[in-house]
Amino acid sequence: MTVSTTTNVLYNTENHQQPLLMIPGPIQYDQSVLDLAGAQTLSHTSPQFIKEFGNVLNLIPKIFKAESESQAFIINGSGTLGWDIAIANFCQKGDLIFLPNTGYFSDSVVNCAEVYEISVYQVKAKHIGDTVSIQEFKEGLYKCNPRMVILTHVDTSTAVLNDIESMCAAVREIHPNTMICIDGVCSIGGERFEMQKIGCDIALCCSQKALGESFSCVCSDLYMIK
Ligand SMILES: Cc1ncc(COP(=O)(O)O)c(C=O)c1O
């Protein structure tokens, strides 16, 4: 990283023409990633593509620290598509989703669920930048019987980092059969995330932040797929 003496702007060392972007995402890619992204298209049935795509599918559960049995899906889309996939495939009209609301990205999950006529029981953080306490979270859980709990690990809009470990433990204690889906768009690859250890069923991530490539991915416990 270098600093221009005339403009005081930070520059990326890879390419001194580009001011350094210091936001959670979209991020600037490493030149080696850009070079690969600019490579010629492979046939989707070629042995090389099958091998490379298979390797990526096998590596994603390792990044998510998921069970070796879990299944990763790579989708050419955004983080929003990740929620859509989780909700559309695992819930149906009339179901209830439980959600601690910590900002804009929690609101957006609610909008996505409502498109499918799925209602959302929300426990809202009191002020912008606050988390929902475990006590409030548990009180909310006792008041409903959700099909799915959706947790935003880091809500980018407020920088709130939710204690997903305690939240998942509370769900397992109060509603052992409820699915847990975690939005890790702003956390996976950056914050500690251990899907198997915390007992999360579906985790989604997108690559314009810590993972740094251009796809969206969803990792699911194999039991959920069956
Ligand atoms: C925490 C979080 N979830 C979901 C999204 C939605 O991702 P996208 O904008 O790629 O649809 C974002 C986007 O920044 C995000 O920060």
Q: What single DSSP character describes residue 160?
A: E
Computed over every residue of the chain, the mean pLDDT equals 89
For a pocket test of ligand 1, which of 156, 164, 208 has the largest count of ligand atoms closer than 8 A to its C-beta?
A: 156
Asked whether residue 221 carries a pLDDT value surpassing 90, the answer given is no
5 pLDDT more than 60: no
Evaluate if residue 25 carries a pLDDT over 70.
Answer: yes
β-bridge mates for residue 13, sequence order: none
Contact 148, 178 (CB under 8 A): yes
pLDDT at 10: 62
Residue closest via CA to ligand 1's atom 8 equals 79
Residues 144-169 pLDDT 10s: 999 999 999 999 999 999 999 999 99
pLDDT of residue 140 exceeding 70, the answer is yes
Least Cα distance to 136 among 100, 107, 166 occurs for 100
pLDDT digits (tens, 9 = 90+) for 93-111: 999 999 999 999 999 999 9
pTM: 0.89
Distance 47 CA to ligand 1 centre (A): 33
Q: What is the mean pLDDT of residues 51-80?
A: 89
Flag whether pLDDT at 13 surpasses 70.
no
CA distance 222 to 174: 23
Question: What domains lie within the chain, and their CATH numbers?
Answer: 41-225 (3.40.640.10)
pLDDT: is 128 or 23 the higher one? 128
Evaluate if residue 139 carries a pLDDT over 90: yes
Which range has the worst mean pLDDT, 11-20, 129-138, 165-174? Answer: 11-20
Choosing from 80, 85, 106, 181 the residue with most ligand 1 atoms within 8 A of its CB, the one to mutate for a pocket test is: 80
pLDDT for 211 equals 81
pLDDT tens for each residue of 181-214: 999 999 998 999 999 999 999 999 987 888 876 6
pLDDT of the residue at 186: 93
Distance between CA atoms of 44 and 206, rounded to whole angstroms? Answer: 22
- Whether pLDDT at 128 is above 90: yes
Read off the amino acid at residue 68: S
